[in-house]
Chains A and B, each alone.
Chain A
Amino acid sequence: GAVVSQHPSWVICKSGTSVKIECRSLDFQATTMFWYRQFPKQSLMLMATSNEGSKATYEQGVEKDKFLINHASLTLSTLTVTSAHPEDSSFYICSAFSGESDTQYFGPGTRLTVL
């Protein structure tokens, strides 16, 4: 099946620093990738939709200047949390859309803890 990787799997950083999370589709090309945030014992909240070669589309309430998304190639999208604060601590999950199977495949997630 299609595989999506995320790196790092967990990160701890100081308040005010920036953190970059990578999302890769390993065996298929993904023109569209999605970034989600998940709070403990809750469902996934879509943050933004990332299209290769164009600007990301952010959901209402998500600060685009704080959560920078770059989709530079058909297999890589990055999410940068700028000037992170403790309230940004969360589980971030990416997914990549496979047009061949019309299915989203999810990465294993990145646990961000901001001290």
Chain B
Amino acid sequence: AQTVTQSQPEMSVQEAETVTLSCTYDTSESDYYLFWYKQPPSRQMILVIRQEAYKQQNATENRFSVNFQKAAKSFSLKISDSQLGDAAMYFCAYRSANNYGQNFVFGPGTRLSVLP
């Protein structure tokens, strides 16, 4: 079974600075998808960024980018020019591509605080 680990329960960053959230996963599969989700306080969880394992190029969405290291099974999220609205819980998630694929595996989350 796949597992997802986020080793940083809490992190903080100064407004306008850059922060990197860590995620590692364990799988024996070669084809899969990885996601970062953001859950602001008392608000809906939304998708931040998505990475396909067969693509070597790291995904980027505006101020959010990932560092995907397939061999190391590492999938970190970099937030540049941090804003107060980035304060949230961030979850890393894995989705298999080799079976029917309904199931997602989530990490425990990292709570990010943004300091003004």
Partners in one complex: no
Q: Residues on B close to A: CB < 8 A?
A: none
Q: Residues on A close to B: CB < 8 A?
A: none
